[in-house]
Amino acid sequence: MEQYLAQAVESISESIRFDSSRQKHTHVAPFGQGALQCLLHFLGLAERMGFTTHNYDGFVGDVEFGQGPEEFAILCHLDVVPAGSGWTKDPFGGLVEDGKVWGRGAVDDKGPAICCLYALKALKDAGFVPSKRIKLIVGCNEESGWACIEHYKEVAHLPETGFSPDADFPVIYAEKGILHVRLHFRMNKAPFLFLEGGSSANMVCDVCEATPRTLTVTKARALGLDVVGKKIVARGKSAHGSTPEEGINAILPVLKFFEDKNEVVRHAIACLFEDVFGLRNLRDETGTLTLSPNIVKYRKNDLQICCDIRYPATMSVDEVYALIRKFGVSYETICHQPPLLHDKNSELIQTLLSVYEEETGEKAEPIAIGGGTYARALKHGVAFGPEMKGDASVVHQADEFIAIDRVLLLLRLYRSAIERLTR
């Protein structure tokens, strides 16, 4: 696969240069021009390789290989979360430096998507004839709602079996349920005129700011807040919403500045950061519930806080709702994705596990994650790579990158996996 490495690296770099975070929609670009141009770039690459491609109204596209009666899906996404703050590289520069490709989407999920495309090219060039119709599906709305997959189901046929290269190796057998809720902490005589922070529901808030009615500079500085004119500003560290412990949430220090001035603010801290109602006590073999308050806005006596909740795969979302109701505040569900849970001994999982072990020489076991992938859109779907145990945490963080030697390994792994599963 070495002969494809330089081309794959260049294609990843090109893809990163499109800011495909969700932007203003148009009738031809439902998620913004950046996402549409990124989709067209990907499909253009595939067409030049000789594959049949389809663009489904700018929502999603696919690349087909093979004519078998059965179908097999490889589910990827080209959209990204906003860049956020703290970068030392251009987040949309696609810089190739120090053995890495830098930029938003390098790992999540443009790099793996392009590696899968080049894996198909390598198989095609080698004369491989799959026994199944392979559909490499690339969505443009994975990070903010999955409307792309819903559209695909309406206008095309989604296979029942496949994998998504959008999580971890060796292979994922379970994904926690995902629940995004917006909580409304209503208050009178708020101690601030303005309060806002966060840019994405599934990304730990890295900047939060507020305009206090009364500014106490010494208190602000004691909490690590910057004072900019009449505003206080907290700067945290972004991370994926499924692993909030890897980030530093900027909302908390801002709320703590006001906790002795308003009982509603104290209640919000107690519910969301101190977990007084025990949501984080819910756990099973797939892990412990995580709750990450990622977006906050104050509007007309209403402190709105959007939370990313990942709950254990064997549990019901009703158990989570029952605890949220104890907060005593109104709430609305923004989105909910039920968990994924498969038999570890299934043929799909064991085949992918074998591929991983053969290519890496490492004995491994299937794992569970808190992240959510397109795999749960399939009847028999799992996640397969690209991250490995011990990797630096870069997804949804500043200075995201993919190492070039990891690109080479992905090319090998995905070529072998696709061949084994579709021959």
All domains in the chain, ordered by first residue: 2-176+340-422 (3.40.630.10), 178-337 (3.30.70.360)
* Catalytic option among 108, 142, 168, 175: 142
The answer to whether the CB of 112 falls within 8 A of the CB of 166 is yes
- What's the confidence (pLDDT) of residue 249? 98
- What's the confidence (pLDDT) of residue 315? 95
Q: Is the pLDDT of residue 371 over 90?
A: no
- Does 71 participate in catalysis according to the annotation? no
Q: Is the pLDDT of residue 170 over 90?
A: yes
* Catalytic option among 19, 62, 79, 400: 79
- Does 166 participate in catalysis according to the annotation? no
Q: How confident is the model at residue 132 (pLDDT cuts 50, 70, 90)?
A: very high
User: How many C-alpha atoms does 213 have within 13 Å on its Cβ side?
Assistant: 8
pLDDT average, residue stretch 176-194: 96
Q: Is the pLDDT of residue 120 over 90?
A: yes
- What's the confidence (pLDDT) of residue 215? 96
Q: Is the pLDDT of residue 404 over 90?
A: yes
The answer to whether the CB of 388 falls within 8 A of the CB of 356 is no
The answer to whether the CB of 227 falls within 8 A of the CB of 234 is no
First to last CA, the chain: 19
- What's the confidence (pLDDT) of residue 294? 98
Q: How confident is the model at residue 407 (pLDDT cuts 50, 70, 90)?
A: very high
pLDDT average, residue stretch 50-74: 96
Q: Is the pLDDT of residue 39 over 90?
A: yes
Which of 206, 146, 135 minimizes the C-alpha distance to 178?
146
Instruction: Tell me the CA distances in angstroms from 28 to 34, 44, 79, 142, 301, one per residue in order.
Output: 12, 17, 16, 18, 38
Q: Is the pLDDT of residue 285 over 90?
A: no
Q: Rg for the chain (alpha carbons), in Å?
A: 22
- What's the confidence (pLDDT) of residue 166? 97
- What's the confidence (pLDDT) of residue 145? 86
Considering the entire predicted model, what is its pTM? 0.87
pLDDT average, residue stretch 115-135: 98
Number of H helices, E strands in the chain: 10, 24
Q: Is the pLDDT of residue 103 over 90?
A: yes
Q: What percent of the chain has pLDDT over 70?
A: 100
Containing H/E element for 235? strand 231-235
Which of 308, 307, 311, 305 minimizes the C-alpha distance to 283?
311
Q: How confident is the model at residue 372 (pLDDT cuts 50, 70, 90)?
A: confident
